[in-house]
Amino acid sequence: MLQAPGGLGRRALVVRRADRVVRHARVQLALKGAFAAAAAWFVAARLLPDDVATYAYYAPLGAVIAIHPTVHRSMTEAGRNVAGIVLGAVIALLTEAVLGVSVLTVALVVAVGILAAGMRWLGSQGAWVPTAALLTLVVGSSDQQDYVLAYAGLTLMGAVLAVGVNLILPALPLQRSARSLTDLRDTLARELDALADYYCPPADSTSRTERSSQGHLDHLLGEMRSAVRESGEAADANRRARNKRETLRGLHRQAQALEQLGFLVQDLGLLLDDHDCGGGSLGSAPQVRLPAAQALRALANAVRAVTAGRSDVDLTATATDAVDHLATTLRAHPPDAVSHPDLLVTGTVVTALRRSLTVIHRGDEDDQFRA
């Protein structure tokens, strides 16, 4: 019996959506974490001696602690966690040997554990120091040495299984990096368009480009740094990264260029804001307003076209010509008492625009050097 075309289309749509869900980084992390925890529980509860299997729940706990998006972070966090557990256990064992178990020693091991948790090399896993100290003192008081060995050993086993799962099925979160870079690039381009409207506001006020807040730009810069750093970490000990080296290099080139452009655009916005708030009017030099707006919009188009750290040659050339024209106009414009402050500000704008173009050109020069 023939399948209706509509049925085939719906089935293909469902398959595409399911594939998109399964490929999502968080879904993949959840599946790997679930598998590692289940495997750790099976090994601890079914394959180890009964006296150790009593504490089998620590094995999946170790797997959950160690499962992270990248192999590098999994190994780092697993090592820190086990070190924190051992340190907390040592604090509890020494305290119990000297003072026994009492209300006082419970308070003491927690206090010492919290102090020890502040050591930088433990990172976020420092919280396990007072936890391990308290559990060793109270839960494992009947047989502390065996408890510590089971606690630390099973947690380590679960962590090793989680790291192994990450090694076999490594993640390479390139989509998050690409998305964060695109968001930042487009936002910087819109910001330049908005700054152009400072010089030449459009006739229709509703079509004026809105400025981004300083906090929003800072957030996008932070998100970009985090995503690109995660991609770099994910490439370590990752067999999938061998075929993505050029993509990774492009991400890092793009990140370097956009970070520098981000600082320049932010400084440019602050400059114009300070001048405006100080009583200056960017409209007092009409011969300069249009070339300034054109240069800003041309740079916005050039920034919008930057991909993998490489520029669009034509758009970058257009932006360079526009900035040169603005500089020529400034030199030809005779300053007076009214327009002089505005011309000084616009001269600083020219410098910022040229520095931005230098950043864009640098990515192309790096490519030529590698070639």
User: In this predicted model, what pLDDT tens digit does every residue of 132-178 receive, in sequence order?
Assistant: 999 999 887 777 778 888 999 999 999 999 999 988 888 777 788 88
- State how far the Cα of 217 lies from the Cα of 201, in Å rounded to an integer: 23
More confidently predicted of 132 and 208 = 132
More confidently predicted of 154 and 341 = 154
More confidently predicted of 246 and 147 = 147
Same domain as 269, residue 125: no
Residue 15 has pLDDT above 70, yes or no: no
Same domain as 136, residue 82: yes
Residue 370 has pLDDT above 70, yes or no: no
Residue 367 pLDDT = 55
Give the CATH number of the domain where residue 363 resides: 1.20.58
Residue 365 pLDDT = 60
User: In this predicted model, what pLDDT tens digit does every residue of 184-201 receive, in sequence order?
Assistant: 999 999 999 988 887 777
- State how far the Cα of 200 lies from the Cα of 183, in Å rounded to an integer: 26
Residue 253 has pLDDT above 70, yes or no: yes
- State how far the Cα of 334 lies from the Cα of 318, in Å rounded to an integer: 26
Which of 140, 168, 196 corresponds to the end of one domain? 168
Token pair in block for residue 56: 């089998």
Residue 293 has pLDDT above 50, yes or no: yes
Question: Of the ranges 56-65, 77-86, 92-101, 174-183, which one carries the lowest mean pLDDT score?
Answer: 174-183
Q: 341 lies in which domain range?
A: 174-370
Same domain as 13, residue 94: yes
Percent of the chain with pLDDT over 90: 40
Same domain as 20, residue 62: yes
Same domain as 157, residue 203: no
Same domain as 277, residue 262: yes
Q: Is residue 231 situated within a structural domain?
A: yes
Residue 282 has pLDDT above 60, yes or no: no
Q: Is residue 1 situated within a structural domain?
A: no
Give 1's pLDDT tier (boundaries 50, 70, 90). Answer: very low
- State how far the Cα of 311 lies from the Cα of 361, in Å rounded to an integer: 7
Same domain as 115, residue 37: yes
Same domain as 204, residue 59: no
Mean pLDDT, range 329-338, rounded to an integer: 66
Residue 74 has pLDDT above 70, yes or no: yes
Same domain as 162, residue 180: no
Q: How many domains does the chain have?
A: 2
Which of 142, 168, 194 corresponds to the end of one domain? 168
> Average per-residue pLDDT in the chain?
83
Same domain as 190, residue 91: no
Residue 338 pLDDT = 43
